[in-house]
Chains A and B, each alone.
Chain A
C-alpha cells in the first residue's frame, strides 16, 4: 500500500482523528466519510479482522498444522529402535520387593522421595505420621527435607513443616500456599523450599511463593484438567512439562508463562509425565494404555511403548538414572519395565492387588517405590542380571 500513488482529493480535517491531513473517501456502512491515509489503513485491517470468521481461522490453523507436520516429517529419517539395534540387549531383569509399607487403610494416591534417598512421603503417611489432609492427591518433599506439600480435593496446596516430635500437631503449623478453583492434581517444589509449582483440575498450572502465598506465574493453555507435571532437570533451565485430560503434553517457560512446545499424539488422558535424565526428552503415561517418549529437539514423539496384552491405562512413569529403563505403573495392578531405546518390555512386575497409582525412582536411582489402591507402598531394588 505504501508505494501506491495517493491521489489527493481534499485537504482537511479527518472524520476520525480530526487531524489536518490529505483525505480520501471511505465508505462505512454505505455512508461516505473522509479519512486520512492512516485512519483509512487502520479501518481496512480492522475490517479484515472482523471478516475473519471462526471457520476461516480454524482452516488457517488446520493448514498450518499440516505444514508443521510436513516439516517435521522431513526430519523423520529413522526410528529410535532401529538405531538402537546396535545397543547391547539388557537380558533378564529380576527385581525384588525390599520393603512393603502398609498404609493406614487408605488408597495410596501419590508419593515422593526425600532428597536423602531414604524417606518417603505418601498420601497416607510420612514416616509414622498420618497426613493431615483428608483426600490428598498430590504430595511433595521439600528439597531441604524439612517440609512437605500436599493437597487434593480441597483445591489447595498446603505446606507442613516436618517435626519428629510425635506430640506436635502437624496440622497446626499448616500454611496454605496455592488456591485453585478445582482439585489439586500435582505439586512440586522447584529447587528451593520457597517456590511450589502446582497443577489443577481447573486446567491451569501455577507457580507460588511459599512464604507469602503469592501467585508468581500462571500457565494457561490446557483445554481440560491438568493431571501431572515435572520440572526439567537442568541446572539453568526454567521449564517444566505438564500433561492433561486434553491428551496434550505441554512444555512451559516458567518466566514468561508461555507454552513453548506442545505434543498431542496420545488418544486419551495423560496421567503422568517425567523428564528423561538429560532433560532433552520426556516420557508420558496415558489412559490409552501406552507410554510415549517425546524428544524436545526433534519436537515429536520418538517412541511408543505398548503391547496388545496391555489394555489398562498407565498411571505413573519414571526413568532409571541412566534413562535406559522406563518404569510404568498401570491400572491392571502391574508395573511394566521398558527398554527406552529398543522399545521392548524388559520385565513385568506383579505384587500389587489393586491399581498402581504412583511410582518414583529414588533420587540416586538405587530403588524405586510404587504406591497402590491396595493401601501399600513397595520399594523394589536394582536387578541382578541373569542371561
Chain B
C-alpha cells in the first residue's frame, strides 16, 4: 500500500521502453559512433530516430505527441542531448545518448549538495573545453563555496580523488561517462527555468518505501552529518487489519451480493440516451446560442439565462426529467404557479421547505423542523400534505429528535407523488405548452395537433437547424 512502489512501477515502465529502444535485435534505434572534425562522437542516436521509434512502437500517430513524450523521458533522466544542459527532445539530427543504469531515477537518488559541490569542483580541475562550467553552474559553485566554507578542504580532496579515478579510464569511455554524469546533474540540479522532475507531489512523499534509508552519495562519500530526508520521518505506521475490519467487510460484501444490479446492455443504453439528449445543450459540443461568451466576449448568453424569460430550449429541458424542472429556478416558479392554479401547491412547497431545512446551520435546524411540522403535517396544518399512515408515523417519531433528516421519508414520498402526478400534468398543461412553443415561427395550421406532436415537431425543428448550421460551417459561410 505505498506510493514508493507506484513510483518504482512508473520508472520500470519507462525503463522498459528505454531498454527496448536500445535493443538492436528487436528493431531498436541505431546507436552509432559519429565522426566529427578530428574526433569521434561515441554511442549516439538522433532525435529523429528516437521520435520515429516512439511513433512506431507506442502507436503514436502525431509526431508532436512523440516529441513531447521523448522530451519527458529526457527530462526524467533516461536520455539526453550531448550538447545541451536543457533536457528536451527534438525531431531532427541532434545527437542524444542513453543514460547509464547507475544513474537511473529508479535507484532513488537524492544527491546532497556536498556531492554536487564535489562534482562542480572536479570539473574546474580538468582542463577540458567540454567540461567548462556554464554560467549558472559557476554561480552554483560560488554559492556552495560560501555555504561549505568550513569543509571546503574536504570537498576539494574528494574532487581530486575523483579526478584521479577518472584519469584511469579509457578516453572514449570517459567521454561517455562524463556526459552521463553531467546529464544526471541536469536532472537533480536543473538549469534555472527548467522543470525539476524530481519534485514530488507532497501528498505522496510520506509513503515512500525505505523511510529509514540513509541517502547514498554519488561519489561514495560517507559523513556522520548525513541527514535523513525530513519527509521520510513523517511516514505513518500501517494499521493492521483486525478481525472487526474483516467482519465489516463480510457484512458489506453480503449487502453487495443482495443488491439488484442492471445488465451492462441496459446501462449502456441509458448512458447513451442521456448523453444524446443533452448534447445539444453542451456548449463544448454544440455551439451555444447566441454565442459562447468565452469566444465572443459577449455575455448575452448569461444575461438571457438570468432573465425571467426562459428560452424554448430551456423550457424543453424541463420536460427531460423531474429533477430538471426542480433545479431550474424559473422552472420551479412556473411549476409552482401551475400548482397554485390547481390549489395543490402544498406538496411542492413542502418539498422546497425540506430542501431548505437541509441547508440550515445546525443551530437553526430544530426551529425549522417545528415550523415545517406545523405548516404541513400537524393536525389542522394550513398546508396539509397527504402522506400515507406509515410515512406519517415515521415522520412524527422523527420530529421528536428534530434533526436535519426528519422529513427524508416524507420528502421521498412527496417527490414520487409529484413526479407521477403533478409533473406529468404540468407537461401536458397549456401553461407549459405555451412556453414551449412561445418563440416558434408561425406554421401553417393543419387542424389541431396533440401536445405530443407539437413536442416532437419542436425537437425535429431544432435538429434540422443544427445540421444546417454545421453544413454552413463546412462551406465556410
Contact = CB atoms under 8 A, between A and B. Distances in A.
A58 B295 contact: no
Interface string A348-373: 10100110000001001111100001
A309 B275 contact: no
A376 B98 CA distance: 33
Interface of B: 1, 3, 6, 9-10, 13-14, 17, 54, 58-60, 62, 64-66, 68-69, 72, 195, 199, 202-204, 206-207, 239, 241, 243, 246-247, 249-250, 252-254, 256-257, 259, 261-272, 274-279, 281-285, 287-288, 292-295, 301-302, 305, 323, 326-327, 355, 358-363, 404-405, 408, 411-412, 415, 470, 473-474
Nearest to A213: B362
Contact of B271 (A153, A259, A288, A295): A295
Contacts of B276: 87
Q: Is the interface of B mostly helix, strand, loop or mixed?
A: helix
Contacts of B294: 98-99, 366-367, 379, 381-382
Interface stretch (A34-42, A70-78, A122-130): A70-78
Contacts of A75: 261-264
A163 interface: no
Interface string A32-71: 0000000000000000000010100110110011011001
Contacts of B283: 321, 364-367, 382
Nearest to A357: B201
Given A212-B362, A325-B284, A383-B284, A299 B271 contact: no
A382 B6 CA distance: 35
Nearest to B274: A278
A126 B450 CA distance: 52
Interface in A65-103: 65, 67-68, 71-72, 75-80, 82-84, 87, 90, 96, 98-99
Interface string A317-357: 00011111100000011100000110000001010011000
Nearest to B1: A224
Contacts of A87: 272, 276
A276 interface: yes
Given A67-B257, A255-B405, A387-B474, A298 B264 contact: yes
Contact of B264 (A64, A79, A183, A280): A79
Of B9, B203, B277, chain A has the most CB atoms within 10 Å of the CB of B203
Interface in A107-166: 117-118, 135, 137, 153
B6 A268 contact: yes
A234 interface: yes
A225 interface: yes
B275 A324 contact: yes
B203 A298 contact: no
B59 A308 contact: yes
Given A268-B6, A309-B59, A332-B69, A383 B285 contact: yes
A79 B256 CA distance: 22
Interface in A263-311: 267-269, 276-278, 280-281, 287-288, 295, 297-300, 302, 307-309, 311
B1 A210 contact: no
A269 B195 CA distance: 23
Q: 4 closest Cβ contacts across the A-B interface?
A: A192-B359, A322-B278, A322-B282, A83-B268
Given A192-B358, A212-B362, A322-B282, 17 more contacts: A71-B261, A75-B262, A137-B203, A183-B202, A190-B358, A194-B359, A235-B355, A259-B252, A267-B9, A295-B262, A308-B58, A324-B285, A350-B68, A365-B282, A367-B294, A382-B283, A382-B292
Given A78-B264, A83-B265, A268-B6, A209 B272 contact: no
Contact of A212 (B263, B363, B408): B363
A98 B408 CA distance: 44
B288 A255 contact: no
A199 B17 CA distance: 36
A227 interface: yes
Contacts of B195: 353-354, 373-374
Given A75-B263, A309-B60, A385-B473, A194 B361 contact: yes
A358 B305 CA distance: 28
A350 B68 CA distance: 9
Given A57-B246, A245-B3, A341-B272, A366 B68 contact: no
A185 interface: yes
Given A268-B6, A350-B68, A368 B268 contact: no
Nearest to A278: B274
A236 B261 contact: no
Contacts of B362: 209, 211-212, 214, 216
Contacts of A386: 474
Contacts of B405: 238, 255
A84 B369 CA distance: 47
